[in-house]
Chain A
Amino acid sequence: MKKVLIFSLFIASALSAQFASAGRSNINIVGSSTVYPFSTVVAERFGRSTDFKTPKVESTGSGGGMKLFCQGVGVQHPDITNASRRIKKSEYDLCHNNGVNEIIEVLIGYDGIVIANSRKATRMKLTRKDIFLALAARVPNPNGTETLVDNPYKTWQDVNSALPNTAIEVLGPPPTSGTRDAFAELALEGGCKKVSWIKAMKKKDKKAYKALCHTVREDGPFIEAGENDNLIVQKLNANKNALGIFGFSFLDQNIDQVQASIVDGNEPTFETIAEGSYPVSRPLYFYVKKAHVGVVPGIAEYLAEFTRESTWGDEGYLTEKGMIPLDAAKRAETSSDVKKMRNLEL
């Protein structure tokens, strides 16, 4: 008993000594699950080709990453956060309140969100308006008056007579996902704006406009399939009437099983997303805490690795993982900003 007590006291003291351990030799990255596949590849290559330790990358979602990142300066806080959208004013203010005054913003490329179905089914040709009408919670009254009704559409043909007569069944990410936010903003709102009287509403009542354009229906046709995009691909294979929403990199890897729907006349490919002609695409960023550069070893070198032409260029290894590169001029601009460590100002 005595020995046991002494032993446990010893362990407790050893542990509390560890708590105070300061310093960190590896870069700590948090943030978006969309940027995660790209940032992990860069981290791995960086670890293999330099003497620095391989950075640790956590996938916390864009919002969660920002929250951790803006917690303060010090080794217990992350050095870099990935985001599949730009930093918000509120997050920027949170950072400043916690003493994170100097942030470097790096735009790394684009990601497309695809709406795909099984290769066994026929390919869908949609417009953003079709997507909005099929998936929004409230839609304009089909009789043409300027009123809103709960979404009455059951089949794609109800939405647009040119579409097949199959039930609307779409598997998509849950509200916690960045993909869902981007989908709501780009596809749903994009279609929403096509209705002129709703567009006029934006000026008068921005809140109501956003609620209308971003709310997804909850009466069955839209099925939340969890954050696992592989699972959605598998489900599409099993059910050829269903459509799924996921990131372009998953389409790229499973091109033998699923096909992307054409949106507004454009098929999502590398070229159409890079040009911006495929409408449902979004920018990818990461943010660096300047105060940690030089304190945690390797941050500057990691930035250099990321902004190298063989990494994020047209033929860089990130494109193999499905990231859509920036155009050459934009890359040159960003990489010179990164070299100068220019501060982000909002």
Chain B
Amino acid sequence: MSTIEIDIEKSNESNCTNESEMKKVNTIELVNKNLKKRYRAERRFKAYGLVSICFALLCLVVLFTDIISKGHGAFFQTYIQLELNLDEDVLEVNDIQNMKQLASANYQGVIRQSLRTLFPDAKKRHDKRKLYALVSSGASYQLADQIKAQPALVGTTISVFVLADDDVDTWFKSLDDAKPFIGRMSEKQLVWLESLKKSGSLHKKFNTTFFNNGDSREPELAGIKGAMIGSLFTILVTFLLSFTVGISTAIYLEEYAPKNLFTDFIEVNINNLAAVPSIIFGLLGLAIFIGMFGMQRSIPLLGGVVLSLMTLPTIIISSRAAIKAVPPSIRQAALGMGASKMQVILHHVLPLAMPGMLTGTIIGLAQALGETAPLLMIGMVAFVVDVPGALTDPSTALPVQIFLWADSPERAFVERTSAAIMVLLAFLISMNTVAVFLRKRLERRW
């Protein structure tokens, strides 16, 4: 800045008589005059960028704090500690070796009996129903599993943690809030709960059910394992199909295809395909794979095929860019050494282009992992309890599970929805981290 000013002063002093010099001086004065304004504009321009970044970061922080503050509760679950007298008569078991008897034993009866002895004031039918409602309907299944593993327990008295009902769970977690959640619970139930709390029978424990179960309509029994496995299967099919087809396409188009109208046409269409809304692929899947090929609805195999249609353009485009980035000198050197075209591609071009291809693939897959719209059309937005064991078992996917829980009336699903979002985000972030890592690790610069 200072040097320019000195220059101007010098020129001012030297020849002022010349007309053209005069003009020059005027321009420079003009520049000088505007200089401050231009610097201000520069600073403003920079500030706009900074403000935008801050705004984006703020939004992200608000989003994350909202999700985490709502969802962290779901990782813990309230249990009620009960003394259970595993009486053979109540259980209706007379032979503990008989697995069939153990499976169909009256576990609910044992739990109910224990509750009745704890609160003898519940005598009327209506009161008893309210009392039994404190414990989850899933508690008897858990007890059944425990007894089946250790049949010798029959006849003894054990102290176990049984799953609390979702209303109890929400109430217990909201005790620190200004106004604890009461929901549909009656006065009497609250009195019972207070006394349970006083005697130290209510415990919050890590919610293993959330990670080990499939979907359920009882929030305390609902888990994301089914959705996670479903997502995994779907992404596996997507990966196998779109990676192989995508890379073969990219290699052909870059290395072999002649430059003519036809390949131009293909190229334009691939680019267009990348911009097609994902729901269209769902419709396509519905019409072709279900309508024409008669595939079953709601299976990960179908979901994977449909999603691979969606990720293919992304993978083809990024793979072509990666192949293009391999310097021609490498191809020429290999050809010069007598390598065939296939050897050049397999031995030199592909290994060098792989990091870029993998990055594109992972980003495409991460996009597919978060997709719900196409799955809606092919019936993967469904209530599926069993954890899928094969590509042809009905299943859902993680984002679909979030959508379904967000739509459920039970209050305890609110925190489970947020928790599932956290799990999905963790998946996506780790996939993107792998992409960044691979790029950093394998990339070669020239």
Contacts and interface: CB of A to CB of B under 8 A. Distances in A.
Interface of A: 1-2, 4-5, 7-8, 11, 15-16, 18-21, 24, 26, 28, 30, 36-37, 40-41, 43-44, 47-48, 53-54, 56-59, 75-76, 227-230, 249-250, 252-256, 315, 317, 320-322
A7 B247 CA distance: 12
A4 B248 contact: yes
B184 interface: yes
Contact of A56 (B183, B217, B218, B298): B298
Interface string B130-152: 00010001000100000000000
Interface string B380-422: 0111111000011010000000000011111100100000000
Contact of A40 (B217, B342, B381): B217
Contacts of B381: 58-59
A253 B251 contact: no
A44 B386 contact: no
Contact of B406 (A54, A230, A254): A230
A37 B408 CA distance: 8
Given A1-B248, A58-B298, A76-B290, A48 B141 contact: yes
A255 B406 CA distance: 18
Contact of A44 (B183, B217, B342, B406): B217
23 contacts: A2-B342, A4-B244, A11-B241, A40-B383, A41-B217, A44-B217, A44-B383, A47-B385, A54-B384, A56-B298, A56-B383, A56-B384, A58-B298, A75-B296, A229-B407, A230-B406, A230-B414, A252-B409, A253-B184, A256-B181, A315-B129, A320-B133, A322-B409
Contacts of A230: 406-409, 414
Contacts of B241: 8, 11, 15
Nearest to A53: B386
Contacts of B293: 16, 19
B283 interface: no
A58 B382 contact: yes
A256 B406 CA distance: 19
Interface residues of B, number: 48
Contacts, number: 114
Interface string B208-223: 0000000011100000
B102 to A, nearest CB: 15
Interface string B166-198: 000000000000000111100000000000000
Contacts of A75: 296
Nearest first, the 9 closest Cβ-Cβ pairs linking A and B are A54-B385, A57-B383, A8-B244, A58-B382, A253-B409, A40-B383, A56-B394, A19-B293, A41-B217
A18 B248 contact: no
B386 A54 contact: yes
Nearest to B294: A76
Grouping DSSP codes into helix (H, G, I), strand (E, B) and loop, the B interface class, with mixed when no group exceeds half, is loop
Contacts of B183: 253, 255-256
Given A19-B294, A21-B296, A56-B383, A37 B409 contact: yes
A76 B296 contact: yes
Contacts of A256: 181-183
A120 B291 CA distance: 51
B296 A24 contact: yes
A38 B111 CA distance: 26
B245 interface: yes
Contacts of B384: 54, 56
Interface in B237-280: 240-241, 244-245, 247-248, 251
B184 A252 contact: yes
Contact of B394 (A5, A26, A37, A76): A26
Given A56-B383, A315-B129, 5 more contacts: A40-B217, A41-B217, A56-B384, A56-B394, A255-B184
Contacts of A24: 296
B164 interface: no
B307 interface: no
Nearest to B248: A4
Contacts of B345: 1
Nearest to B346: A1
Most buried by B among A2, A24, A28: A28
Contact of B386 (A1, A47, A315): A47
Given A19-B294, A36-B383, A249-B409, A1 B184 contact: no
A20 B296 CA distance: 9
